[in-house]
């Protein structure tokens, strides 16, 4: 598989009222052609910031991307590309879908105009042709009556319809990579499944890569090719979906998995909850950020962050560490 996009040593800090928040800490990963990569983690772990940093969408007055960071796409570093060239890639080769479609669509512009605007920003086509293309796109995302929809305003549509419009807009120039930032979080469960199914279908059809950002590990199972788990601004485990779900290596991933309700669970068996909260990102973290909440924490965990071995950053992987069953307790039941 060929690498489509590579994120290298990405670090982002925010200057907030209480001090510097180190939201993303030296994150590196590739996105391969045609794959679906899921980035999973709880809120505040830096997954959304990472996604926005790729397209340089962070508010430059408060967010600082370290100079060592790079986002390589077709041999170019998106983080240092001139604005003009970046705009040529944004929305056409790499596009993005956001969580809250209501807020992400301009309330005073018709759906049609917003899609046509994207088409015309990247292709030299006339108004009529752009309108035709917009119609096709709305049909592509399986919205009924595309012609009529063109003249509607976002607030006249339902939540699912709005998210479909967002997807249509993102697909308007056949992107190579679609970044979907919690695309289904704001939707009802039934609609979630529809939207996700649609995304997958379109991915196959258009042969694009999808970077799916979500906090819902359960959602990822049937969708993603690869998964990477973020915690406190770092990627702590990565692997194929099968690896992650069948044999998680990091206690955090294991804890996330045991927190998903499953069909084969005993009646009245309590769901396992993870105690505690993620660490304060204003602090410099020396040890493993998860140590405080980890069932298997060892003295070394508090002193030093382990290097990545076999896609996992955990001291349990160290030859000197005892062998433990991460899913223990859960399997007993």
Chain positions contacting other proteins, by CB under 8 A: 17, 52, 55, 57, 59, 61, 83, 86-92, 95-96, 98, 100, 103-110, 117-118, 121-122, 153, 155-156, 166, 169, 275-277, 279-280, 282-283, 290-301, 303, 315, 318, 320-322, 324
Integer Cα distance of 206 and 210 in angstroms:
11
Taking the least distance from each CB to other proteins, the nearer of 270 and 319 is: 319
CB of 319 to other proteins, least distance (A): 9
Nearest to 166 by CA among 214, 111, 122: 111
Integer Cα distance of 66 and 9 in angstroms:
9
Integer Cα distance of 4 and 210 in angstroms:
11
Taking the least distance from each CB to other proteins, the nearer of 122 and 238 is: 122
Do 23 and 45 form a contact (C-beta atoms < 8 A)? no
Taking the least distance from each CB to other proteins, the nearer of 109 and 206 is: 109
Integer Cα distance of 119 and 132 in angstroms:
11
CB of 298 to other proteins, least distance (A): 5
Taking the least distance from each CB to other proteins, the nearer of 12 and 294 is: 294
**DSSP codes, 313-332:** --GGGSTTSPP--TTTTTTT
CB of 241 to other proteins, least distance (A): 27
Enter the tokens of residue 304: 């030093």
Integer Cα distance of 38 and 241 in angstroms:
9
Nearest to 56 by CA among 31, 34, 87: 87
Torsion sign across C-alpha atoms 245, 3, 92, 204: negative
CB of 118 to other proteins, least distance (A): 5
Sort 252 into a burial class: Cβ within 10 Å, 0-12 / 13-18 / 19+: buried
Taking the least distance from each CB to other proteins, the nearer of 105 and 227 is: 105
Nearest to 257 by CA among 278, 235, 242: 242
Taking the least distance from each CB to other proteins, the nearer of 185 and 240 is: 185
What is the distance of C-alpha 168 from the center of its chain?
Answer: 18
Enter the tokens of residue 85: 């060239």
Taking the least distance from each CB to other proteins, the nearer of 91 and 233 is: 91
Q: How far is CA 273 from CA 100, 117, 296, in A?
A: 27, 46, 16
Taking the least distance from each CB to other proteins, the nearer of 91 and 146 is: 91
Enter the tokens of residue 321: 């560490």
CB of 35 to other proteins, least distance (A): 21
CB of 172 to other proteins, least distance (A): 8
CB of 295 to other proteins, least distance (A): 5
CB of 221 to other proteins, least distance (A): 27
């Amino acid at each position: 598989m060929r690498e489509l996009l590579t994120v290298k040593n990405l670090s982002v800090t925010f200057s907030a009222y209480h001090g510097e928040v180190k939201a993303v800490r030296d994150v590196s990963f590739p996105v391969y052609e045609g794959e679906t990569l899921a980035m999973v983690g709880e809120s505040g772990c830096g997954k959304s910031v990472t996604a926005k940093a790729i397209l340089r969408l962070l508010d430059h007055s408060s967010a600082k991307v370290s100079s060592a960071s790079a986002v390589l796409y077709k041999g170019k570093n998106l983080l240092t590309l001139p604005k003009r060239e970046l705009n040529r890639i944004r929305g056409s080769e790499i596009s993005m879908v956001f969580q809250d479609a209501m807020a992400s669509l301009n309330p005073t512009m018709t759906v049609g105009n917003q899609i046509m605007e994207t088409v015309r920003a990247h292709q030299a086509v006339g108004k009529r042709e752009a309108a035709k293309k917009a119609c096709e796109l709305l049909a592509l995302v399986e919205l009924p009556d595309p012609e009529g929809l063109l003249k509607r305003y976002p607030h006249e549509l339902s939540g699912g319809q709005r998210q479909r419009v967002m997807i249509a807009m993102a697909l308007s120039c056949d992107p190579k990579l679609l970044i979907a930032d919690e695309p289904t979080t704001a939707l009802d469960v039934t609609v979630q499944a529809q939207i996700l199914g649609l995304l997958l279908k379109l991915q196959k059809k258009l042969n694009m890569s999808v970077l799916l950002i979500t906090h819902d590990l359960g959602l990822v199972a049937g969708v993603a090719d690869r998964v990477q788990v973020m915690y406190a601004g770092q990627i702590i485990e990565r692997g194929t979906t099968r690896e992650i779900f069948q044999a998680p290596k990091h206690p955090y991933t294991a804890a996330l998995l045991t927190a998903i309700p499953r069909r084969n669970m005993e009646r009245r068996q309590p769901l396992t909850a993870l105690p505690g909260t993620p660490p304060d990102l204003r602090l410099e973290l020396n040890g493993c950020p998860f140590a405080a909440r980890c069932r298997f924490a060892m003295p070394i965990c508090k002193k030093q962050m382990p290097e990545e071995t076999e896609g996992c950053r955990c001291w349990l992987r160290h030859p000197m560490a005892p062998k433990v069953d991460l899913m223990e307790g859960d399997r007993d039941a």
